[in-house]
Amino acid sequence: MAEGNGQVDTAAAQAAMSVMPGGAAVGGALATFNNMNFIVDGKSSSGPGAGGGFSMSREEAEAALEEARGIADDLTFQVREARLLAQTQSPADDPASMGFHNVGLEALGNGAQHVEAERDYWRSLVTALEKALGVYQAADEQAGQDVGGSGGQDSNGGGLI
C-alpha cells in the first residue's frame, strides 16, 4: 500500500488484498469513502445536487474526524509492529523448523497486509472528512465575505449589518 505522500494508493491496496484469503472483500472496502458525499451543516462535499451520503453537523464531523485520525494513527503503529513480526528469523536451519517458520512468515505477512488495509480504510475516511470540512469551511468563508461586502463591512470587522 503506497503511502509516501500520505495518500493511499487504492488500486495497489485492492490488488494486494484481492490475492489474500478473503482479501477481495477487505480490499473492496478501501474505496468506500473515495467518492462518498459528506453533508456538513447542509453543505455537500461532492458539490451542489449530489445526493445521498452522510449528513452531520460540523461538530459531529470534527468529532468523527478526530476519532478516525486516532484509529488511523493506532493502526499505523500496528502496521510497523506487524511488519517487524513478519521479519522474524527461524530458530534453526533444519527442514522441520524452516518449514514451520515459512508457514508462520506467510501468516504474519498476510496479517501485516490486513492491518495495512485497515489503516488505509481509516485514512480514506480521514481524507473524506477533511475534504468535507474543508468544503464547509471554504463555503463559510465565502459567505462571510459576501455578507461583509453587501453590508459595507470595513477591514476592522465593522459594518452596516
Higher pLDDT, 36 or 113: 113
Least Cα distance to 65 among 33, 95, 90 occurs for 33
Mean residue pLDDT across the chain = 74
Beta-bridge partner residues of 55: 39
User: Domain ranges in the chain?
Assistant: 10-143
Average pLDDT in the 22-40 region?
Answer: 59
- The span from the CA of 154 to the CA of 161, in Å, is 11
Report pLDDT digits (tens) over 78-106. 999 999 998 889 989 999 999 999 999 99
CA distance 161 to 105: 68
Longest dimension (CA), the chain: 86
What's the pLDDT at 141? 65
CA 112/CA 17 separation, integer angstroms: 11
pLDDT, position 1: 39
Q: What is the pLDDT of residues 140-153, one digit of tens each?
A: 566 666 666 665 55
The DSSP-derived string for 50-103 is ---SEEE-HHHHHHHHHHHHHHHHHHHHHHHHHHHHTTPPPS--SHHHHHHHHH
Q: Look up the pTM and report it.
A: 0.60
Q: Please compute the mean of the pLDDT values over residues 55-60 and round it to a whole number.
A: 86
